[in-house]
Amino acid sequence: MDYKEKYLYWTEDPFFDGDTKKELLAIKDEKEIQERFYKDLEFGTGGLRGIIGAGSNRMNIYTVRRATQGLANYILKKGTQDKGVAIAFDSRHMSPEFSLEAALCLNANGIKTYRFDTLRPTPELSFAVRHLGCTAGIVVTASHNPREYNGYKVYWDDGCQVTYPNDEGIINEVNAIEDYSLPKTMTLEDAVEAGLYNVIGKEIDDIYIETIKKYIIHPEIIEQAAKDLKIVYTPLNGAGRVPVTRVLKELGFTNVYLVEEQAEPDGDFPTIPYPNPEDPKTFTLALELAKKVDADIVMATDPDSDRLGIYCKDKDTGEFVIFNGNMLGTLIGEYIFREKELNKTLPENAAFVTTIVSTNLAKAIAKAHNAACFETLTGFKWICGQIREFEENNNNYKYIYGFEESYGCLIGDYARDKDGVSAVMMLAEIASYCKVRGETLLDELERMYKKYGYYSEELSFIVMPGMDGAEKISALMESIRKEPPTEIGGRKVKVFRDYRAGECLDLATGEKYPTGIPVSNVLYFELDNDSWCCMRPSGTEPKIKFYMGVKADSMEEAKAGSAAINKALMAIVEG
């Protein structure tokens, strides 16, 4: 069916409810109708993400049921239905409703579900899948996207977002469902009576919090500083408030100040249009409170609490300084590997895992502490997939820590997704370590740069919404793939990596060799002087992203270098 036929089907078929039809019939803009129906909302390798509303290209109960029926069909074919599925949701509009629809669809297929009683962080869902021994997990969230979005992420039995071959198998099952009336459902009452629908909550919370607290390295330092360190925290109207404030309180931190306007769950995100801790505007209210209480650090988790952003007060100027994801990720990594090495708890086969678009500083840190460093594709599921590979290979390497530049990290292997709750905990420990020395996180960061060199990274992007935007992004990638530049920002391209082709090209010798990691639509350029840049379409938003990094003898020089590369990339894109 074309988009007009789909529109008529949704507005005329008695299967669809009255509110859905009313919303669709009120649309007068033909372009809007086309956007809602020109395709089915794509179930990608991580699940669904889209604007909430009626239509086949929107997040609604019908697209959620279709996705869940596909998941159910795959589970039934695998024969693992008796293990059940854990389900969580965040504070976004329709998150409770979508999570309940998912549970009842699974229940109607004879699959047990374990649904959290209220909103929970995504990393706790990952933890719960492993703790309960489930075959899969679902979390309803759109992470840090704008308020009009929601999403649906699928996890497998290892607690990691689905990867090959399970992702492909689920996608095939979802795509095979063309009739939206086919997915099964049942009433909540019947599901409870049949023993298929189960509620989980505090019992998982308690075990999750106790587990992450075991990763504290120096409880004695926290005890020294906890009553003096001042922390401002905002959950950005999401799922982080309860677990974050709980773990900080249990560790003894008494000066924790909540941003009240952003403390309660609210899918409207009334004080911020874009609840993303990567965006400095997100911290406006938190910084106002920080100045008022003279805080040491300011921290924010996104709505599903898997990402963390921070500011630190400069003790010399009194101003608050933002840390980007690479600064945050390497600061935590250096502390963990250094302190574990000093107290002789770092195993000989220790592994540090990061992504191809994150800072090269990770490699230097790993080398200094005699640890192996592994790079993966962008997306935390690939970092966690590396953990699984370590385990399947008889623990040739032991995962200690991993991070990605987009403000996500995982300390230890208790879960298989990035965790903003444990990241807050670890940052509080590092801030305590600095506090007892009369220093700040900025001093710790400077000490790291003096040891390894000054690294500067930049991320830029171009938004290209809608079906026209997707076509433009595809055309741009293809044109660069066919004729890659030989110089970018005054730096020669040494090696061109095309991750979709799985091939690296040495421009000096003409030698070709495999990338060594899975296929992905990413173009990467190794440049002179340990510099690099790459580009890739976002997997969750209508944009193309550009990453770049430079190492230098000073931060000023490094920033100038990364800015030059960024300018050159924009010139290439503009033609």
Q: How far apart are CA 564 and CA 489, in angstroms?
A: 5
How far is C-alpha 120 from the geometric centre of its chain's CA atoms?
Answer: 15
In which band, very low, low, confident or very high, does the pLDDT at 164 lie, cut at 50, 70 and 90?
A: confident
Same domain for 416 and 522?
no
Same domain for 429 and 528?
no
Same domain for 310 and 388?
yes
The pLDDT assigned to 61 comes to 97
- Cα dihedral: 209, 212, 213, 217 (round 10): -170
For residues 513-539, give the mean pLDDT.
Answer: 91
Decide if 181 is inside a domain.
yes
The pLDDT assigned to 233 comes to 98
Q: Please determine, for residue 423, whether its predicted confidence score (pLDDT) is greater than 80.
A: yes
Decide if 213 is inside a domain.
no
For residues 430-439, give the mean pLDDT.
Answer: 97
The pLDDT assigned to 541 comes to 72
How far is C-alpha 177 from the geometric centre of its chain's CA atoms?
Answer: 28
Decide if 29 is inside a domain.
no
Considering the entire predicted model, what is its pTM? 0.93
Decide if 191 is inside a domain.
yes
Same domain for 445 and 402?
yes
For residues 515-530, give the mean pLDDT.
Answer: 92
For 41, which DSSP code?
P
CATH label of the domain that carries residue 498: 3.30.310.50
Same domain for 255 and 364?
yes
In which band, very low, low, confident or very high, does the pLDDT at 395 lie, cut at 50, 70 and 90?
A: low
Interhelix angle 18-25/3-12, nearest 10 degrees: 140
Nearest Cα residue to 411 out of 436, 537, 495, 419: 419
Q: How far apart are CA 371 and CA 340, in angstroms?
A: 12
Active site residues: 143
The pLDDT assigned to 221 comes to 97
Same domain for 349 and 284?
yes
From 399, 419, 451, the end of a domain falls on: 451
In which band, very low, low, confident or very high, does the pLDDT at 420 lie, cut at 50, 70 and 90?
A: very high
The pLDDT assigned to 270 comes to 96
Decide if 60 is inside a domain.
yes
For residues 307-326, give the mean pLDDT.
Answer: 96
92: CB partners within 8 A, 6+ apart: 140, 141, 142, 147, 149, 150, 267, 303
Domain residues for the domain of 91 are 39-200
Decide if 279 is inside a domain.
yes
The pLDDT assigned to 540 comes to 65
Contact between 184 and 69 under an 8 Å Cβ cutoff? The reply is: yes
Same domain for 324 and 425?
yes
In which band, very low, low, confident or very high, does the pLDDT at 125 lie, cut at 50, 70 and 90?
A: very high
Please state whether the peptide bond connecting residue 165 to the residue before it is cis, i.e. omega within 30 degrees of 0. yes
- Average of per-residue pLDDT values in the chain: 95
Same domain for 443 and 482?
no
Place of tokens 């409170």: 289
- Cα dihedral: 224, 230, 236, 237 (round 10): 80
Nearest Cα residue to 370 out of 387, 346, 354, 401: 346
For residues 390-418, give the mean pLDDT.
Answer: 93
pLDDT digits (tens, 9 = 90+) for 240-286: 999 999 999 999 999 999 999 999 999 999 999 889 999 999 999 99
Contact between 160 and 126 under an 8 Å Cβ cutoff? The reply is: yes
Decide if 20 is inside a domain.
no
From 200, 230, 259, the end of a domain falls on: 200
Q: Please determine, for residue 439, whether its predicted confidence score (pLDDT) is greater than 80.
A: yes
Buried b (16+ CB within 10 A) or exposed e, 364-379: bbbeebebbbbbbbbb
Same domain for 254 and 386?
yes
Q: Please determine, for residue 47, whether its predicted confidence score (pLDDT) is greater than 70.
A: yes
Nearest Cα residue to 83 out of 117, 116, 108, 106: 106
How many domains are contained in the chain? Answer: 3
From 451, 474, 502, the end of a domain falls on: 451
Same domain for 413 and 483?
no
Which residues, in sequence order, are bridge partners of residue 454?
Answer: 552
Helix runs in 453-554, H state only? 466-482
Decide if 4 is inside a domain.
no
Place of tokens 């649904």: 115
Nearest Cα residue to 145 out of 470, 541, 462: 541
Same domain for 368 and 474?
no
Same domain for 464 and 558?
yes
In the chain, % of residues over pLDDT 90: 88
pLDDT digits (tens, 9 = 90+) for 90-113: 999 999 999 999 999 999 999 999
CATH label of the domain that carries residue 122: 3.40.120.10
